[in-house]
Amino acid sequence: MRDRARDLGANLINGTVHKLEIPSNDTDSYVIHYADHSGAGLQGEPKVLKVDMVIGADGANSRVAKAIDAGDYNYAIAFQERIRIPEDKMEYYKERAEMYVGDDVSTDFYAWVFPKYDHVAVGTGTMSVNQRDIKKLQAGIRKRAAHRIEGGEIIKVEAHPIPEHPRPRRVVGRVSLVGDAAGYVTKCSGEGIYFAAKSGRMCAEAIVELSAAATRAPLEKEMKKAYLKKWDKTYGATYTVLDILQKVFYTSDAAREAFVEMCDDIDVQKLTFDSYLYKTVVPANPLVQLKITAKTIGSLIRGNALAP
């Protein structure tokens, strides 16, 4: 994507942003203070850049979000170990991704073994930020997948916040936030790559549309309409449905049993697959919808998930 941007005329700078100065009116420039890493040395060379607009695409710990006082979000922690497993064991994961649920692997989310081309990522997500809890959950998923990852060698350990909902303010003045900086990870699945790319694109398209061939910088009001309103209209329902699903099904082992039983249904699988693929809540025909609802309630009752 970076190469494509350069080929289309973008001026790429390899730098770390340290500070964003906010102008006091609608016309003065934003001033970005950054360390330029194009030369030698880890520190980089301090430089300053004046710009008309800023898109903060700098992830969950966004400095741009802090600079515009975008407000905080709750976050989960995703912890994972990249493990190189023997070739015969890797064969099993060539066409498979595994999701594990249960209090032993995550008390409020799920754990996973995902193939990453020539190795696997074994990890867990949780709202708990207590390191000891996370270690215990990670030990849980390692134990559950033990026979499949036996003989594996850890090649990398990663931990990172995962936003749980959008920030209170995503457009302030001529600054817009996209991706994790805005808080666009979906509940339930924890998917954020698609939404990061898509929001970047939607935001950029709004700027192109409103900037009259780069002769003016769109204002907050205009960006809120052309980018935020469009975003919320397109994906709002997806976020809401996944939020409800997480709240209903990820809270206890009984509810998780119901979730697993429900996922065995072919109509649920079809609905989920289509919704995942098209990133929209795909409506099923009313009869199928009714059947799914009845089955869901049945699963919850059988799993004793509705008991107080």
Ligand X SMILES: Cc1cc2nc3c(=O)[nH]c(=O)nc-3n(C[C@H](O)[C@H](O)[C@H](O)COP(=O)(O)OP(=O)(O)OC[C@H]3O[C@@H](n4cnc5c(N)ncnc54)[C@H](O)[C@@H]3O)c2cc1C
Q: How many CB atoms lie within 10 A of CB 270?
A: 14
Q: Which one of 20, 67, 185, 255 is in contact with ligand X (CB under 6 A)? A: 185
Q: Which is nearer to ligand X, 65 or 207 (CB)?
A: 65
Closest CB 182 distance from ligand X, rounded Å: 8
- Among the listed ranges 19-27, 39-47, 174-182, 283-291, the one in contact with ligand X (CB under 6 A) is 174-182
- SS3 track for the chain: CHHHHHHCCCCCCCEEEEEEECCCCCCCCEEEEEEECCCCCCCCEEEEEEECCEEECCCCCCHHHHHCCCCCCCEEEEEEEEEECCHHHHHHHCCCCEEEEECCCEEEEEEEEEEECCEEEEEEEECCCCHHHHHHHHHHHHHHCHHHHCCCEEEEEEEEEEECCCCCCCEECCEEECHHHHCCCCCCCCCCHHHHHHHHHHHHHHHHHHCCCCCCCCCHHHHHHHHHHHHHHHHHHHHHHHHHHHHHHCCCHHHHHHHHHHHCCHHHHHHHHHHHHHCCCCCCCHHHHHHHHHHHHHHHHHCCCCCC
Residues 47-76 that bind ligand X (CB under 6 A): 57-59, 63
175-177 β-sheet, strand order: 54-56, 175-177, 171-172
Residues 12-51 that bind ligand X (CB under 6 A): 16-17
Closest CB 123 distance from ligand X, rounded Å: 6
Q: Which is nearer to ligand X, 179 or 218 (CB)?
A: 179
Closest CB 121 distance from ligand X, rounded Å: 7
Residues 227-286 that bind ligand X (CB under 6 A): none
Residue, CB closest to ligand X: 192
Q: Which is nearer to ligand X, 78 or 188 (CB)?
A: 78
Q: Which is nearer to ligand X, 186 or 296 (CB)?
A: 186
Residues 94-153 that bind ligand X (CB under 6 A): 123
Q: Which is nearer to ligand X, 194 or 273 (CB)?
A: 194
Q: Which one of 192, 227, 249, 250 is in contact with ligand X (CB under 6 A)? A: 192
Q: At what angle do helices 193-210 and 230-249 cross, to 10 degrees?
A: 160
- Among the listed ranges 4-12, 42-50, 155-163, 277-285, the one in contact with ligand X (CB under 6 A) is 155-163
Total residues binding ligand X (CB under 6 A): 22
Closest CB 216 distance from ligand X, rounded Å: 27
- Among the listed ranges 86-94, 148-156, 184-192, 300-308, the one in contact with ligand X (CB under 6 A) is 184-192
Instruction: List interacting residues with ligand X (CB under 6 A).
Output: 16-17, 57-59, 63, 78, 80, 123, 158, 160, 162, 179-181, 185, 190-194, 196
